[in-house]
Chain A
Amino acid sequence: MVSVFYALSALVLMALIFGAILGYASVRFKVKSDPLVEQLDQLLPQTQCGQCGYPGCKPYAEAIANGDDINKCPPGGDATIKLIADLMGVEAVSLDAAHGEEDVKKVAYIREDECIGCTKCIQACPVDAIVGASKVMHTVIVDECTGCDLCVEPCPVDCIDMVPLHTGAANWKWDSLVIPTKTVA
């Protein structure tokens, strides 16, 4: 009976000691990393398009951190979903079609003949990629345009098109060539 008591107290003592060491270590050696929201925000494509249902990428990142679905971002596509899944430790699901389809990269183009200078698209653009002022011609800065599509709706004369970016020999990607690579066994 006494031996049991000794054994028990020994174990309890060891548990307390090791627990204390672990607790101390978890505080003292804690790895400082970005808060989860920041990390998620880094993964999102920053088009600020709102297709996910949130007004921008940061709010969506916050929503994901609070447990929202990760498959709502069409500009990010499946690649982004996979990265978020890795970060959050959840399963990667395919893109939710209700929020849009993944498409080639597009930029907005204003048909200047029809522009009436109303500044509605300028107000709508989340990254200020449209140059112009009231009664003055509006133009999209191609390098800054994220292709979010938010300017098309407000335009009262419907003069904005989304056109795909041009691929020439300069920015052609090698994997367009189909090499017959089949791994066997």
Chain B
Amino acid sequence: MQSELTLIEQVKLGKIWEFPGGINPPERKSLSNQTEIGNFTTHTLYIPIQQHIGVAGSLLVTKGESVLKGQALTSPGEGLSLPVHAPTSGVISDIIDHVDAHPSGKTVLTIVLEADGKDLWVNKNPLLNWQELDRDTVVKHIQAAGVSGLGGASFPTYVKLSPHKNIDLLILNGVECEPYITADDVLMRYHANEIVQGAQIIQHLVAAKLCVIAIEDNKTEAIASIEKALADVADIELRVVPTKYPSGGEKQLVELITGLQVPSGGIPADIGIVMQNVGTSFAVKRATIDGEALVSRVVTVTGERVKNPQNLWVPLGTPIKTLLQNVGYSPEKTPRLIMGGPMMGFNIVDDMMPVVKSTNCILAPSNFHLPERGVEQNCIRCGQCADACPAELLPQQLQWFAKADEHEKLKEYDLFDCIECGACAYVCPSQIPLVQYYRIAKSDIRQAEEEKLKAEKAKRRFEVRQERLERDKQARLLRHKESAEKRKKALAQDGSAKDKIAAALARAKAKKATSENTDDLAASDTPQDKVAAAIARAKAKKLKSSKVSVDNSADSTPEASLETSLKATDTAPTTNPNKDRVAAAVARAKAKKLAKEEQEKVKNDAELKNETDHKGHADAADKPVSEAQVDKTLTAAEERKAKVAAAVAKAKAKKQKAAADEPNQEPTLDFVDKASAKISNEDKKRSADDERKAKVAAAVAKAKAKAKKQATESENSTNTSDKETPDLNVADDLSQTPEQIRKDKVAAAIAKAKAKKNANNDTDNGSNNS
């Protein structure tokens, strides 16, 4: 019988269905629904730029700008995005990272607005003829007004208003099943007409054949008010549902009104239904017919610790502290503030959190009426949780699996169908925080899946790269083979060529012998260069062989290599300035690396010796001292060499063009900044070429700074290490310095970049201060 009726026909029959489970906690709504909605204003507003699910918008305003009420402060970004608007007229005093209305307490970019008290609206742009306009226009208008789901999820409304599926039914959710909250209740009582108008707009946009407004049976005045408003309206009907938590959940309300279940992983639009909160409907009406952006909302400020619990029209961005001060809030010994209701709200950890689009309630309960949960005990498998679950899950099993991190089982038991309503944890006699376990498990599973995807991608890329390298290698081999054969053929044909080839081969061999261990130093053209290069090569070769033979004596290697590279650059003449500079930078970096390597080696030895010392304490005193000495000599030598290197580079840079400012012999980190700054300041007058010079000098100065720092660090360590347990100290300090080297580098680079930016800004005559 039922399958023959369409959805609309069935709904029109007026049946109210049921969902399993659910609980009936004490409602405590009479605290706050006795008065009309008050108005609230405050001086300072903190407006986060993201108050919705999706991507944040980009700033349109700057610090110090004056704005009017309803003026857009951000423009929507790409993808799922909404703008935010100024809730009142005033001046933007700051744009900072301020605490977000989020359980983590983390910060988000926030616009701080100081109200000027005049509350002037910007030019409103109403769409009075919305019925004749193109649907897309109206939807875009609603997006530009910043309307998002005011029921708590804050999903951008414009997406729901442009479904790509056939919609039969629009449900307006006025159920408000959570205890304490009465925001929708009073909105329906006093603004029923506007809500109905909004419903008509939405119904038109989604082309739904029928609209149903659902209200719980404990809101008698609201029901009467809506009935009155629906008196002459066609295609919108009222449905009263029995009071039960969580009837107001989207999935549960769909089941109540239609008897259908939203498919797992899907949305109601999949079965031809769109649901909106009554508050959202009101906001849609205000945006369309009155041209007002979403700048304030009804917030229930309630709880037994509040002297005057009530509903208020609160401008978005009002800090909670301000709101509470005005309603007579007196905290308990351990203050307890909840944003949202007692079942799904989160604890407020910082009372400067602002009211955002999704804030429907600020709750300050007393411990007597809403006792804190007890300490968690073992699960006794009583099954009350499964009886309460509206989604027919097995919370008990989910809890076992969540505690054991069994992701496969969790997916098998449909963890992601949990709506986190909290009914299970509410009834649990063992006080287990079930929903918390599920949230943790869900985020763990999501993260694991993301990582798996990333790993798959990385693996694929790796494999493709291996294939490519293999292909290239094969191609190269093939080419070699072909050219070899060609040569052979040519040789066979032309006898005289053989002699030429032999001569060439001999030359090549000779060259190879001397250029075994060449670095990529400047390949110069003049004979002087060649000689110098050859000498350098020879020295380098000697160096490497000596390095291999020497066991852990760190003295000679870094300075020697430094010397070599220095000499090579010294003797190379200035015909290729760029290459020289590059070479110098490369040489510096190499020296640094070698020095680091040596230090690592020494550190490793120190650690090894630590281990061996555990067995034989006798030699404890001697070894670290000797290493410290080695250290000393190492760093002292390096310091000297670094100084020399710096001076050389300086001289070269000078030789080129206009002089740069020289860093002096005592480089500190600050001075490196200053040096870089000075250098880059003078860039104004020079060409791009000189900038490279400056870079080199800066790099050199950096290297020196690092060397100096290493020297001072290890000297400090050697001083202290003589007295006490030497092994550990030496090891520790040695391990610190590479880290510090990195930090120094970063700091120096940042400083350089800053200075450069400053220089650029000056030339552009911009006024931006970062």
- Please tell me whether chains A and B touch each other in their complex, using a CB distance cut-off of 8 A: yes
- A: which residues have CB within 8 A of B? 41, 44-48, 56-57, 111, 113-114, 116, 126-129, 144, 146, 156-159, 161, 168-169, 172-177, 179-185
Given A114-B699, A158-B745, A174-B440, are A169 and B458 also a contact pair (CB < 8 Å)? Answer: no
CA of A45 to CA of B450, assembled, Å: 12
Name the interface size band of chain B: 35 or more
7 contacts between A and B (CB under 8 A): A41-B459, A127-B465, A144-B457, A158-B745, A168-B106, A173-B440, A174-B443
- Asked whether B582 lies within 8 Å of A127 as measured between CB atoms, the reply is no
CA of A127 to CA of B375, assembled, Å: 49
- Asked whether A113 lies within 8 Å of B459 as measured between CB atoms, the reply is no
CA of A38 to CA of B88, assembled, Å: 62
- Asked whether A185 lies within 8 Å of B378 as measured between CB atoms, the reply is yes
Stretch in B17-25, B262-270, B584-592 touching the partner: B584-592
- Asked whether A177 lies within 8 Å of B752 as measured between CB atoms, the reply is no
CA of A45 to CA of B456, assembled, Å: 9
- Asked whether A47 lies within 8 Å of B436 as measured between CB atoms, the reply is no
Closest to A181 in B: B376
CA of A172 to CA of B104, assembled, Å: 8
- Asked whether B108 lies within 8 Å of A113 as measured between CB atoms, the reply is no
8 Å CB contacts to A: which residues of B310-348?
none
CA of A177 to CA of B439, assembled, Å: 11
- Asked whether B699 lies within 8 Å of A180 as measured between CB atoms, the reply is no
- Asked whether A183 lies within 8 Å of B378 as measured between CB atoms, the reply is yes
- Asked whether B465 lies within 8 Å of A169 as measured between CB atoms, the reply is no
Among B108, B439, B443, B749, the residue within 8 A (CB) of A114 is: B749
Chain B residues with CB under 8 A of A45: 451, 455
Closest to A145 in B: B458
Total cross-chain contacts (CB, 8 A): 103
Chain A residues with CB under 8 A of B444: 173, 175
15 more A-B contacts (CB under 8 A) besides A175-B443, A185-B377? A46-B455, A46-B458, A46-B459, A114-B695, A126-B462, A128-B464, A144-B461, A157-B586, A161-B745, A169-B104, A169-B106, A173-B447, A174-B439, A180-B375, A184-B378
- Asked whether B752 lies within 8 Å of A113 as measured between CB atoms, the reply is yes
CA of A108 to CA of B699, assembled, Å: 20
A-contact 0/1 string along B104-144, CB 8 Å cutoff: 10101000000000000000000000000000000000000
Closest to B456 in A: A46
Q: Report B380 CB to chain A, min CB distance, Å.
A: 11
- B: which residues have CB within 8 A of A? 100, 102-104, 106, 108, 375-378, 432-433, 436, 439-440, 442-444, 447, 451, 454-459, 461-462, 464-465, 582, 585-586, 589-590, 592-593, 695, 699, 742, 745-746, 749, 752-753, 756
CA of A182 to CA of B592, assembled, Å: 52
- Asked whether A57 lies within 8 Å of B459 as measured between CB atoms, the reply is yes
Among B458, B589, B699, the residue within 8 A (CB) of A47 is: B458
CA of A114 to CA of B593, assembled, Å: 16
Q: Report A139 CB to chain B, min CB distance, Å.
A: 16
- Asked whether B440 lies within 8 Å of A175 as measured between CB atoms, the reply is yes
The 6 closest A-B pairs by CB, nearest first: A46-B455, A127-B461, A174-B439, A175-B440, A46-B458, A46-B459
Given A169-B108, A175-B444, A184-B378, are A111 and B749 also a contact pair (CB < 8 Å)? Answer: yes
Given A111-B749, A156-B589, A168-B106, are A116 and B462 also a contact pair (CB < 8 Å)? Answer: no
CA of A98 to CA of B447, assembled, Å: 28
Q: Report B481 CB to chain A, min CB distance, Å.
A: 24
